Structure 1
Amino acid sequence: MLWALTCGLLDSVLHVVLPRHRPLGLARRRRNVPVYRPLVDLSTMEERHVILTYRLNRATVQELCAQLEPDLMSPIRQPTGIPPLVQVLSVLHFLASGSFQTTVAISSGMSQPMFSKVLSRVLSALMKYMRSYIIFPEVGDLPTVKGDFYVLGHIPNIIGAIDGTHVALVPPKDNEQVYRNRKNYHSMNVQVVCLADQYISHLNAKFPGSVHDAYVM
């Protein structure tokens, strides 16, 4: 009798103190499904605000989105529930502002891990079409290029305006010091050539910030 009461009491205590587990066959693992909440509506934004936020006007943003849409709509590559326009806008905002991924993600209605995937996909799509837009003039186009520059500054025989800029970045762990420039922040030393209409005709982004401008040129 005493033994039966003791066993019953012990069983009750164990049920209270120890967690009750599901049988292995019924155990379920909760999945974190990314949720997209639409916050961006280009059609309701003023043109001035569009340019300030994305560094492009509305027509250019829409043209860019139309070109990238096939790459961003691929079933394999498309993030869950995010329209191509929102993907493009979020990445343009990130590039234009130099902000953190988390900040841009929140303002675009997505999580940071989701935006990280979007960023990679949109940049890959942009790189795919880069050489269709960044083109140095052919020999036959040079008279027109020179004429456009002459209209601007009355200086003959100009085929491009060249300059350099440091694009800030988070350096890789390996060889971090080579990315530190003379102003003591990490960057890439980028050389850019543009035409009279401000179209970029050549871009050299191969060198880290510690490299002198003379070497880049």
Structure 2
Amino acid sequence: MPGFPGIMAAVIVARRRHRNAQHAQERVFRRRISLFDLSDNDIVRRYRLPGHAIIALLDEIKDDIEPITQRSHAVPGIVKLLSTLQVLASGSFQTPIAGVSGIAQSSVCRAMWEVVPAIIRRVGRHIRFPQNQQDIQETKQDFYQVGGFPNVVGAIDCTHVPLVPPSETENVFRNRKHTHSVNVQAICYAHGIITNVVAKFPGSVHDSFIFRNSAVHRQMQDMDGRWLVGDSGYQLQPWIVTPVRNPVTEGEAANNRAHIRTRGIIERIFGILKSRLRCLDRSGGALLYSPCKVCKVVVVCCILHNIAIRAGVRLGEQEAEAEGEGDSD
């Protein structure tokens, strides 16, 4: 039998081999996602944006998300962005995405909460209510061509985004359909660009309350002769037009038909938004983040929606089929 020195030497050798094996395993990294591996159609299908729009967005936020260290296992900014886009697009959180992105599930989650705040910090570049006379005039003309309504600068409505509520405030997030959500206000142009989003109120709060407490309500009071179109849940005011209740004359009926065509744009946009970014739809499952984080996700999705429209992205067949599934109640 080997003596004690021989046994100790064997133990030391075994330990070294184990450490070396562990080190070798740690240095084997998954192949990470890359835009260059995909066709243009596949890029849009997976990330909902074309490659050039993704690169432009990365250029906007890279200072906030690129790793400080140059170590080989640091996650590059492009991988963080693509992982986040895929989570938002698919509504599948972390586990399926991690296998595709080439980083661990925990890294996907960390990446997402670097990317989301970075995009929100640029919200003013992507979501803007019309301010100058040229924008206002073009907006009014676009809406007039849709339904024949003059002086319209936006279509307004609210939609519910499901979440898992905090137990201590569960009742506050319960909406009139007895599910839990945040109630999100949005205003859009005639061509679908979102110009205003308010994502901070729980599902129990009424649409009209959100509008009265929004900055755009104060703006509209200073915009004489310019209107928003909203449903009957809003109070008729000099700056917001609602349908005529129980129309009697042909003129009132014609007014309501024009109103439906004009306001229908925002309902369609909610459907497109939720089909394009499935994390917002019930089919993607209720968001498992805190209400504050859910609201941030909503704003980012509205920004991505605008980027997609400005980049000329059209709905694919699969998205078009789901277009009417968004709940704008």
Q: Does 1:122 align with 2:115?
A: yes
Query: TM-score scaled by structure 2?
Result: 0.51
Q: Distance in 1 between matches of 2:174 and 2:28?
A: 38
Q: Does 1:103 align with 2:96?
A: yes
Q: Does 1:83 align with 2:82?
A: no
Report the AA paired with residue 134 of structure 1. Answer: I
Provide Cα deviations, 1:88-118, integer angstroms capped at 9, x if missing partner: 1111111122222222222211112111210
Report the AA paired with residue 83 of structure 1. Answer: P
Q: Distance in 2 between matches of 1:128 and 1:74?
A: 18
State the Cα distance separating 1:158 from its structure 2 match: 1.4
Counterparts in 2 of 1:87 and 1:160: CA distance versus 1, 3 Å: same
Q: Does 1:198 align with 2:192?
A: yes
Q: Distance in 1 between matches of 2:98 and 2:178?
A: 29
**In the alignment, is the contact (CA less than 8 A) between 2:32 and 2:103 conserved in 1?**
no
Counterparts in 2 of 1:215 and 1:110: CA distance versus 1, 3 Å: same
Question: 2:64 is matched with which residue: 59, 71, 76?
Answer: 71
1:141-180 alignment, distance < 5 Å: 141-180=135-174
State the Cα distance separating 1:189 from its structure 2 match: 0.7
Provide Cα deviations, 1:178-206, integer angstroms capped at 9, x if missing partner: 22323343221101111123221100111
State the identity as a percent. 39
Question: 2:207 is matched with which residue: 206, 209, 213?
Answer: 213
Q: Distance in 2 between matches of 1:73 and 1:160?
A: 37
Report the AA paired with residue 183 of structure 2. Answer: N
Q: Distance in 2 between matches of 1:64 and 1:133?
A: 11
Report the AA paired with residue 46 of structure 1. Answer: S
Report the AA paired with residue 68 of structure 2. Answer: P
Q: Distance in 1 between matches of 2:172 and 2:35?
A: 40
Point out where structure 1 has 5 or more consecutive residues left out of the alignment: 1-19, 21-27
**In the alignment, is the contact (CA less than 8 A) between 2:67 and 2:77 conserved in 1?**
no
**In the alignment, is the contact (CA less than 8 A) between 1:35 and 1:110 conserved in 2?**
no
> What secondary structure is seen at the aligned counterpart in 2 of 1:175?
helix
Report the AA paired with residue 52 of structure 2. Answer: A
State the Cα distance separating 1:134 from its structure 2 match: 1.2
State the Cα distance separating 1:139 from its structure 2 match: 4.2
State the Cα distance separating 1:64 from its structure 2 match: 0.8
Structure number with higher helix proportion: 2
Q: Does 1:133 align with 2:134?
A: no
Q: Distance in 2 between matches of 1:154 and 1:34?
A: 64
Moved more, 179-188 or 86-95: 179-188
Report the AA paired with residue 151 of structure 1. Answer: Q
Report the AA paired with residue 64 of structure 1. Answer: L
Counterparts in 2 of 1:210 and 1:85: CA distance versus 1, 3 Å: same
Counterparts in 2 of 1:34 and 1:210: CA distance versus 1, 3 Å: farther
Question: 2:177 is matched with which residue: 161, 178, 183?
Answer: 183
Q: How many residues align?
A: 193
Q: Distance in 1 between matches of 2:201 and 2:175?
A: 11
Provide Cα deviations, 1:11-44, integer angstroms capped at 9, x if missing partner: xxxxxxxxx9xxxxxxx9x999797523422233
Query: TM-score scaled by structure 1?
Result: 0.75
